[in-house]
Structure 1
């Protein structure tokens, strides 16, 4: 990961490792940019920015990966630009972007099956087949996000006794 910006968006855009969308490997901005030759990137960015997700802005870009997915092909893509690192919700943003791409490109989008055992890689990345098998269904996006939030809160309670410092209301540790 070449920059701190890459680190900030990794949880959002690593999901594309499990799809036929380039996660920007083979460029100078891996994970910050995602795309594919068939992507309607202008329309996609408009739809994502219309959601007014906290702490993020989507910029249309084009790039040509020098290796990995779509090597040597011009990809229409999206640059995920974090405007407020405290407000940005990386995993949720990535799932919303994934849902939008799948909805806008049903004939082109696909899940990547590059694993030796045939298990779709998105299932490994997300911990189950739920995203792959339900994301296209009505209300599935919000249900998945709600369950991820519940899991996050449960994890915070489990880890609490092991923290050396308490988090203050402003996100700092005291």
Structure 2
């Protein structure tokens, strides 16, 4: 039986939506399960009024990474202005919310701490609370399910738009559940309502929902990309390509200076399990790192969706760092800071210590389990699905 997203249940809650000037926080992933209507069309079909649209990273139509709309030339969709919440401004301003009586959030997330849609939601929740506007989440599946919770919990001192609220890397929450967690974590005074899915359990991964794959952003065109994004995102902190700009983002990793035969041999010797197969691969990104250059490295294919890619990703990163100590570089979080971006993405300093040989992967995995188990217990009462 196919999962029914929260969007397709709004007609059951006419008392919430009817007669209200609605601010809709959404993008191209806000569609019905049969792909016949986006949420704007669906709302209008019910007779509900969308007064303003707010969009996250990648923009309303998903044109590309980091797309933000210039507020001075706001686009229109029907009778609603589109306001970007990515760029310098990530939170609706009081001016943006003038005349808005209800804020509604509807986007497809991926279940990982560093994915920015979560923070677009929480920042908007803050704005709604400050303005005294009710906030509604139309829930959608967590593609990675809710049973595997792993990775370090991020330190509060490292909070940013790609990590906050002491979340583990793979948090196991739907955005509806994450909204409840954030409200409790921050002590937020906001009138929150989550319209739950039907025919969904936390044990489901996306293929089990019966839904067509709903691309959440340009670099995650398939479920397999999301599986390897869990861990593979860490390569965004260094000058090793994570496959962005290629046909297989987050499934291929390499650089012009890498000898793929040596790296393949090293990873075969050190592999962390048999749930990911890999092969030698050369690729030429059309954008991003090394655009137009040949990168040599490896291509991965996941065999078991339950197995997290993080151990494999860190093992590969260390192999390349050890092979090419003078050529692998890590970018700083900000030019005027010493903090490297890897620490922010990972959540603490232990990934750096592992790459420097100061701790083992086994020790990292032990900490992931401890922190994941503690988080799982802390959110048990906030679960919306069995």
Q: Which structure carries more helix by proportion?
A: 1
8 Å contact from structure 1 (residues 39, 75) kept in 2: yes
Deviation at 1:116, TM superposition (A): 4.5
Worse overlay, 9-18 or 108-117: 108-117
Aligned equivalent of 2:322: 103
Q: Which structure carries more strand by proportion?
A: 2
8 Å contact from structure 1 (residues 99, 141) kept in 2: no
RMSD between aligned alpha carbons?
A: 1.9
Aligned residues: 165
Aligned equivalent of 1:30: 249
Instruction: Kindly indicate whether structure 1 or structure 2 has the higher relative contact order, using CA contacts under 8 Å at least 6 residues apart.
Output: 1
8 Å contact from structure 2 (residues 272, 312) kept in 1: no
Aligned equivalent of 2:374: 154
Q: 63, 70, 75: which one pairs with 2:290?
A: 70
**Partners in 2 of 1:74 and 1:63 — Cα distance?**
6
8 Å contact from structure 2 (residues 230, 308) kept in 1: no
Distance 1:46 1:83, change over 3 A: farther
Worse overlay, 100-109 or 128-137: 128-137
Provide structure 2 residue ranges, at least 5 long, that are not aligned to the other structure: 1-219
Aligned equivalent of 1:170: none
Deviation at 1:133, TM superposition (A): 4.2
Distance 1:54 1:153, change over 3 A: farther
Q: Give me the TM-score of the superposition, normalised by structure 2.
A: 0.40
Aligned equivalent of 2:222: 3
Q: Give me the TM-score of the superposition, normalised by structure 1.
A: 0.84
* Map 1:36-47 → 2, pairs under 5 A: 36-47=255-266
Provide structure 1 residue ranges, at least 5 long, that are not aligned to the other structure: 167-174
2:308 aligned with 1:89, yes or no? Answer: yes
Deviation at 1:31, TM superposition (A): 0.9
Worse overlay, 57-66 or 145-154: 145-154
Deviation at 1:132, TM superposition (A): 2.1
Aligned equivalent of 1:169: none
Partner of 1:108: helix, strand, or coil? coil
8 Å contact from structure 2 (residues 279, 299) kept in 1: yes
